[in-house]
Amino acid sequence: MKAVYLDNAATTPIAPEVVEVMLPVLKDGYGNPSSTHSHGRKSKALIETSRRTIAKHLNCQPSEIIFTSGGTEADNMALKSAVHQMGVQHIITSHLEHHAIGHTANMLTTKNVRISYVKVCKKGNVDLADLEQLLDTEEKTLVALMHANNEIATLLPLNEVSRICRKYDALFLSDTVQTMGHYKFDLQELDIDFITCAAHKFHGPKGVGFLYVNKNSKVDALIHGGAQERGLRGGTENVYGIVGLTKAMDLAYEDVIGHQNHVQELKTYMIDQLKDYFDDIDFHGETNPEKSLYTVLNVCFPKNEKSSMLLFTLDMKGVSVSGGSACSSGAAKGSHVLEGIRADMNRPNARFSFSRYTTKEEIDFALEQVKSVFEKTLA
């Protein structure tokens, strides 16, 4: 049976070129980077070369990059350091954030931290006027808002939010896990304190990422027990993962515009085909290319007798996608993102997410399978 993978927002297939550079490190780069002998120095050199390469891509200082196990650890490190090291008493976030932000912020309320939730519209856009009102406080504040929502694709205007944060002397953390490797970041132009990365979202290996920390901000170790990462992240470094992350970023930024154009064409094509077939079709989040992450499309389908098993049925037909609401995913609780934008939870939804390897033929196959689920009702 043909199998089509359209769940790239969850994770992407690792690029062959990434595997190619990781294998020699797995085989021969076994020296501990903390050791002073030649084997250790070779491993340490791989890490520091990678750090400089990533910093060059982002136009920041190598010392501002801290390697982590991925985006969740990076988000935790930024939030907890902001509270423990930088005196943050007030966190402004939204109900649409990834749980790495939401759950961590909730945990920090035990440290006498207050949480405010900025208003969002039905499409998931942040109400910037409300954000300003929430920032009008004497408390030391951190704003934690993701660059692009992982479920509904709506983009945050990073520069505008940064400007507002600086107006009120607030710290700014943006979870950029879904957008790193898909958009260019110039951290000399973007005034921000923290951004995060997970390599597996752009064809790198799982289990590795980084936290960018602006040189004017302070962080403390989240994981203690060693002096690695300048004492900020204890534990022997994931050398082959770091090398793979760097190669994945190199590949991503070789032709980021070409990548964007290819994937956006597929997304637009799928939107148009769904609109032509269904009279009653909707899309969660923004679909305007200027306001929407081009790799993600969240579709709100008409309800029929098969809709409660939509994702399972598509999987059986060879199409791997994700969903949010309980009625379509089988989860005990529906998507907090869809609840946050007050979506109709009685209608089935599916999140289709694309990569640079996705083809038009795969989109056509997926569309055929979607139509087969609904054809009896529509006939």
Encode pLDDT of 6-64 as tens digits: 999 999 999 999 999 999 999 999 999 999 999 999 999 999 999 999 999 999 999 99
If DSSP codes are grouped into helix, strand and coil, which group holds residue 145?
Answer: coil
Residues 217 and 260 grouped into a single domain = no
Q: What is the CATH number of the domain that holds 314?
A: 3.90.1150.10
Q: How far lies 250's CA from each of 3, 56, 110, 182, 243, in Å?
A: 28, 10, 41, 12, 11
Q: What is the CATH number of the domain that holds 67?
A: 3.40.640.10
Q: Rounded mean pLDDT of the chain?
A: 94
Residues 306 and 230 grouped into a single domain = no
The yes-or-no verdict on residue 326 having pLDDT over 70 is no
For the residues of 167-191, what is the DSSP string, one character each? HTT-EEEE--TTTBTTB---TTTS-
- For the segment 331-357, the average pLDDT, to the nearest whole number, is 89
Residues 136 and 208 grouped into a single domain = yes
Determine the Cα–Cα distance for residues 20 and 22; give it in Å rounded to an integer: 6
The total of structural domains in the chain comes to 2
Residues 138 and 171 grouped into a single domain = yes
Which of 237, 252, 267 is a domain's end point?
252
Contact, 229 vs 219, CB < 8 A?
A: no
The yes-or-no verdict on residue 329 having pLDDT over 70 is no
Residues 102 and 198 grouped into a single domain = yes
Residues 242 and 277 grouped into a single domain = no
Residues 84 and 169 grouped into a single domain = yes
Task: Provide the 8-state DSSP code for 345.
Answer: T
Residues 76 and 164 grouped into a single domain = yes
Residues 237 and 223 grouped into a single domain = yes
Residues 293 and 210 grouped into a single domain = no
Contact, 99 vs 146, CB < 8 A?
A: no
Write out the catalytic residue numbers.
Answer: 327
Q: Which domain holds residue 25?
A: 16-252
Which of 252, 285, 310 is a domain's end point?
252
Determine the Cα–Cα distance for residues 284 and 301; give it in Å rounded to an integer: 10
Residues 307 and 192 grouped into a single domain = no
Q: Write down the pLDDT at residue 331.
A: 47
In our burial notation (b when 16+ CB lie closer than 10 A, e otherwise), range 353-370 reads bbbbebeeebbebbbebb
Which of 223, 252, 281 is a domain's end point?
252
**Cα Rg of the chain (Å, integer):** 21
Q: Write down the pLDDT at residue 67.
A: 98
The yes-or-no verdict on residue 325 having pLDDT over 50 is no
Residues 223 and 263 grouped into a single domain = no
